[in-house]
Structure 1
Amino acid sequence: MEEFVDFVPEKEPARVVHKRPRKALSKISRFLTNRFFLATVGFAAIMLFLDKNDLFTTIERHRELNGLELSKEHYNKELVDLHKIKTDLETNPATIEKLAREKYKMKRDNEDIFLTEDNNTKLKQAE
């Protein structure tokens, strides 16, 4: 029994495929015109430069946050010092007298006060 052959290779013309070597420029241009690549680049550009929370704004906010944290530490230390002074003023009469003499220039009845200026403070104020 003969076999049925649907395709006979001798009767069909042979296809000649000429492979041209692809140039690097054509590969790059194919990559650059890929729609997924273009969409990714567009999205990255929008997120980095045009968005409300872009890269530059985020960096500036981090710098501002670091500065605010430093000032918070400074004011917390100052607050602790002020609490210490407050407790001293409430409990120690010598501290009250020292503050009254230095800041408010108060004196006892039988004392004379002589005020002098320091030359270093004059120079600092002049600068």
Structure 2
Amino acid sequence: MWNKIPAFLKNKYLLVILMFIVWLTFFDRNNFISQVRYGRILNKQRQQMEFYKSEILKDSTALNELMTDSLSLEKFAREKYLMKKNNEDVYLIVKDKDNKEN
């Protein structure tokens, strides 16, 4: 019976190493599959962090420009909040999303 088993399967060190690899791959709390998944999540979080840093930089420069330049503040108020001077009229043109011809 023992003669039919290949010699490399009789090696107790190899069997322990194989069992250890199987344990780390599937059963351990910090297994290899979870580590790969956590690495992907970490990369996605880093990309989001870089995106938000660039957005913060862009918004802070725009805010600085609004605080220092009165012409840009007036332009922003007119475009964003539709503010106007006392002697002028503002016309708002809204385009239909459903512009189907029947």
Return the TM-score normalized by structure 2.
Answer: 0.83
Matched, 1:91 2:68: yes
Alpha-carbon distance between aligned partners in 2 of 1:47 and 1:27, rounded to the nearest angstrom? 26
Which structure has more helix as a fraction of its residues? 2
1:53 equivalent among 12, 27, 30: 30
- Unaligned runs of 5+ residues in structure 1 are 1-24
Matched, 1:41 2:18: yes
Count of matched residue pairs: 96
Alpha-carbon distance between aligned partners in 2 of 1:118 and 1:88, rounded to the nearest angstrom? 31
Alpha-carbon distance between aligned partners in 2 of 1:59 and 1:71, rounded to the nearest angstrom? 19
Structure 1 segments, 4+ long, off by >3 Å, are none
- Unaligned runs of 5+ residues in structure 2 are none
Q: Match of 2:89, SS? A: coil
Return the TM-score normalized by structure 1.
Answer: 0.68
1:63 shift after superposition: 0.7
Q: Which has the higher contact order (CA 8 A, sep 6+)?
A: 2
User: What percent of counterpart residues are identical?
Assistant: 31
Over aligned residue pairs, what C-alpha RMSD do you find? 1.8
